[in-house]
Amino acid sequence: MEKLDIVLYPEQGLREVCKPVKEMTDQIDKLIDDMFYTMYDAPGIGLAAPQIAVQERIIVVDVSESKDQPIALINPEIIRTAGKITWEEGCLSLPGIYGKVNRPSDIIVKGMNRDGKMVEIEAHDLLAVCLQHEIDHLNGKMFIDHLSGLKRTRALQQFRKLMNEEQS
Ligand code: GNR
Ligand code: NI
How far is residue 131's CA from residue 119's CA, in Å, rounded to a whole number? 14
pLDDT digits (tens, 9 = 90+) for 116-137: 999 999 999 999 999 999 999 9
Ligand 2 centroid to Cα of residue 116, in Å, is 25
Q: What is the mean pLDDT of the chain?
A: 98
Enter the pTM of the model. Answer: 0.98
Q: How many residues does the chain have?
A: 168
Ligand 2 centroid to Cα of residue 92, in Å, is 5
Residues 6+ apart with CB under 8 A from 58: 21, 28, 31, 32, 35, 48, 49, 72, 73, 74
> How much is the average pLDDT of 80-102?
98
Ligand 1 pocket member 123 (CB < 6 A): no
* C-alpha dist (Å) from residue 85 to 48, 60, 131: 22, 21, 13
Query: Would you state the pLDDT for residue 21?
Result: 98
Residue 56 phi, psi dihedral angles, 5° rounding: -130, 160
Query: Would you state the pLDDT for residue 168?
Result: 83
Check if the beta carbon of residue 81 is closer than 8 Å to that of residue 107: yes
Ligand 1 centroid to Cα of residue 142, in Å, is 10
Atom of ligand 1 nearest to the CA of 91: 14
Atom of ligand 1 nearest to the CA of 45: 1
> How much is the average pLDDT of 47-57?
99
CATH code given to domain 12-84+104-140: 3.90.45.10
Q: Are strands 85-89 and 46-48 parallel, antiparallel or unpaired?
A: unpaired
